[in-house]
Amino acid sequence: MRFNRKIGFCLFVLAGLFIPGGARAQLSGDVIFNGSLLDICIVLVTGSGTIAPNATYTEMSSEHAGGARGEATITTTSTNFDVAVDAPSAFSSAPAGADTGVTYEAMVSASGVTSLLDVVDGVLSPLGLGLTTLDVGVTATRGAGVFPAGAYQIPVTVRCVAS
């Protein structure tokens, strides 16, 4: 009987040694969650536009009848970003002689978490947090003469910049 009690005591001590330390030390604990949120800006061009001439053929613009603005979205995860559009420096495709004495301008309007109305090229505008939808317009103006007949393409860049 005494021998059995000694064996039982030893088993009790051994059992105690094998109980996991954490479970023995405390009855509750914190579960840690790790995560990170990157400061990001996504520019997604969703549609190119159309340019059309004015009545006197001295302008080609997305703002004239038959024209349409290009579209893009910007998604941000913070308010640390600005948006701007660049004025084109030339047609990327045009009939011969079409780019003589031409000036270019671009403009952008925004809706969603950012509200902008026809902000001209080169101007940085702060973006809101989340999804912004952009309408991008462009106008090419001829200083003298008229635009010749033919197919035209004009490039515009939408830029998201860390502010």
Partner 1 sequence: MRGVLISLAALFAAGPAAAQALSPMTGEVRTYTDRFALQLKAFNPYERAQRFQLAFYDETGARFADVQSAAPVIYVPPGEEVSFYVWGMAAQRRRINICVTSPYFLDGVGSQVRGEVCGRYDIVRLGG
Binding site for partner 1 (CB under 8 A): 35-45, 47-52, 60, 62, 67-72, 75, 77, 80-81, 92, 136, 138, 152-162
Closer CB to partner 1, 23 or 65, in the complex: 65
Closer CB to partner 1, 110 or 158, in the complex: 158
User: Closest separation between CB of residue 113 and partner 1, Å?
Assistant: 17
Judge contact between 71 and 133, C-beta under 8 A: yes
User: Closest separation between CB of residue 80 and partner 1, Å?
Assistant: 7
Count of C-beta atoms within a 10 Å radius of residue 70: 22
Judge contact between 122 and 140, C-beta under 8 A: no
The residue behind tokens 């939808």 is 133
Classify strands 59-61 and 81-86 as parallel, antiparallel or unpaired.
unpaired
Closer CB to partner 1, 117 or 161, in the complex: 161
User: Closest separation between CB of residue 66 and partner 1, Å?
Assistant: 10
Alpha carbons within 13 angstroms on the beta-carbon side of residue 71 total 6
Which tokens in the block code for residue 60?
Answer: 């080609």
| Of 113, 154, 152, residue with least CA distance to 137 | 154
Closer CB to partner 1, 40 or 117, in the complex: 40
User: Closest separation between CB of residue 145 and partner 1, Å?
Assistant: 19
